[in-house]
Amino acid sequence: MAQHRYVLPESAIPTQWYNVMADLPSPPPPPLDPGTGQPVGPDALTPIFPMALIGQEVSGDRWIPVPDPVREVYAMWRPTPLHRALGLERALGTSCRIFYKYEGVSPAGSHKPNTSVPQAYYNREEGVRRLTTETGAGQWGSSLSFACQIFGMECKVYMVRVSYDSKPYRRVMMETWGGTCVASPSTETAAGRAILEANPDSPGSLGIAISEAVEEAASREDTNYSLGSVLNHVLLHQTVVGQEAKQQLEMAGAFPDVVVGCVGGGSNFAGLAFPFLADKAAGRDIRIVAAEPAACPTLTRGHYGYDFGDTAGMTPLLAMHTLGHGFVPPAIHSGGLRYHGMAPLVSHLVHLGLVEPRAYTQTECFREAVRFAGAEGIIPAPEPSHAIRAVVDEVERAKEEGVERTILFNLCGHGHLDLAAYHAYLTGEMTDLELDQSELDRAAAELADLPALA
């Protein structure tokens, strides 16, 4: 019988994170201080991050050790399984081989604990007892609540209003792990109050929620801030995913021709793809595809330049693909992909032509998610259904070209808390939200006053 799943013992959990910075043909442009226009130094970040993470953020070392206490928590669910998508291959009638890494087996149901655990750990090591953060769909907020609970810390989560209202159970999950969750924009911060004054019905956005969480962390001595995606150290922590996948593909006697992930801030994509970029850098023929929502098309329709990571303009300026920090994405079901910007590392790789971006509408993604659920059993989160949609594209392309390819993607989370979205799809109530080009233009115009890329 053909093998469905490749599992590894605990001893195979990576002992080091892989830092793609070491294998880039050129470094990405540095973050800038918005006041001076000069690169930010570590000191600018110490009010909200611990030194260990600041060090990882700027490190050029190829390998960075995973502390033993972090590895021990990883062992609660890692290594995650690699699945051969035998059912999906049959359903698609393809002779391509499709593999997926399944991160939905973590306590929070996604890849997010891969970084929430080390972030909580490093903060606690430096005496911090309380963390704030933002969350979109709720995956990140619940993952940080879990990690804080494990290390005996407090966790305060600003959850994007539209998700807070449509996903009450993600909040309950955070509370079950001892976290506190408020809807953003909230009245608890100056940033939140300013947004609410301008628009009392604001659906919120990740950019707004980041402003609130950063403001609270910066203004409280006992509190640091924790980000669930975008930054270099976050992407770094996720590379356990791709490293394990390599070991598992070796068990299967396979190596991918195409690696696929969905992108919002970029972290699950990077976690799977970056370890394979090392192979690409070494000359191996491998294509890497990033799938984003057509309703928040940062990589495919955004501008590559300097922008704030948050809406209120409290963060350093990041060199990234962006729709403008004032852009509020439509209320699609993939809350985790509703971000105006993109990880600087992912943006840089797209700019260099090493990563191919694609955009898909939510209904076409849900159509594939339902087919996947019927064929593979697992009900995907809406976010990775974008990756599945891209995989189907790759299968069709291989058929047209008359070749058989090995395709690897990251199934970064399950959809157990997204069944309202499935209901909307199954009953025909789901629509695709057409983006107004004038809205994109308006958002991009905000960038005119910010420094240009060199």
- Which of residues 92, 289, 379, 381 is near its own copies by CB under 8 A? 379
Rg (CA), the chain: 20
- Which of residues 39, 58, 77, 286 is near its own copies by CB under 8 A? 77
Report if residue 250 touches its own copies, rule: CB under 8 A.
no
Contact of 383 with 412, CB cutoff 8 Å: yes
Q: How many Å apart are CA 99 and CA 198, to the nearest integer?
A: 47
Preceding omega of 185 cis (within 30 degrees of 0): yes
Q: How many Å apart are CA 82 and CA 392, to the nearest integer?
A: 19
- Which of residues 404, 420, 434, 442 is near its own copies by CB under 8 A? 420
Closest alpha carbon to 323 in 433, 439, 208, 432: 439
132 bridge partner residues: 156, 225
Report if residue 177 touches its own copies, rule: CB under 8 A.
yes
Q: Which is nearer to its own copies, 41 or 374 (CB)?
A: 374
Q: How many Å apart are CA 41 and CA 156, to the nearest integer?
A: 27
Paired tokens of 441? 């233009």
Report if residue 51 touches its own copies, rule: CB under 8 A.
no
Continuous segment of H or E residues that includes residue 320: strand 317-322
CA neighbours within 13 Å on the CB side: how many for 310?
Answer: 24
Min separation Cβ 318 and its own copies, Å: 32
102 backbone dihedrals φ, ψ, rounded to 5°? -110, 105
Q: How many Å apart are CA 155 and CA 144, to the nearest integer?
A: 7
Residues in contact with its own copies, counted by CB under 8 A, come to a total of: 47
Q: How many Å apart are CA 231 and CA 267, to the nearest integer?
A: 9
Report if residue 252 touches its own copies, rule: CB under 8 A.
no
Report if residue 27 touches its own copies, rule: CB under 8 A.
no
99 backbone dihedrals φ, ψ, rounded to 5°? -120, 150
Binding mask 101-140 for its own copies (x = CB under 8 A): ----xxx-x-------------------------------
- Which of residues 244, 292, 310, 376 is near its own copies by CB under 8 A? 376
Maximum pairwise Cα distance, the chain: 63
- Listed ranges 2-10, 191-199, 229-237, 292-300: which one lies at the site for its own copies (CB under 8 A): 2-10
- Listed ranges 231-239, 260-268, 277-285, 372-380: which one lies at the site for its own copies (CB under 8 A): 372-380
Report if residue 150 touches its own copies, rule: CB under 8 A.
yes
Report if residue 288 touches its own copies, rule: CB under 8 A.
no
CA neighbours within 13 Å on the CB side: how many for 301?
Answer: 19
Min separation Cβ 417 and its own copies, Å: 6
Q: Which is nearer to its own copies, 7 or 445 (CB)?
A: 7
- Listed ranges 210-218, 239-247, 254-262, 420-428: which one lies at the site for its own copies (CB under 8 A): 420-428
Min separation Cβ 113 and its own copies, Å: 8
Residues at the site binding its own copies, with contacts judged by CB under 8 A: 1-5, 7-10, 68, 71-72, 75-77, 83, 87, 105-107, 109, 146, 149-150, 168-169, 172-173, 175-178, 370, 373-374, 376-379, 414, 416-417, 419-420, 422-423, 426
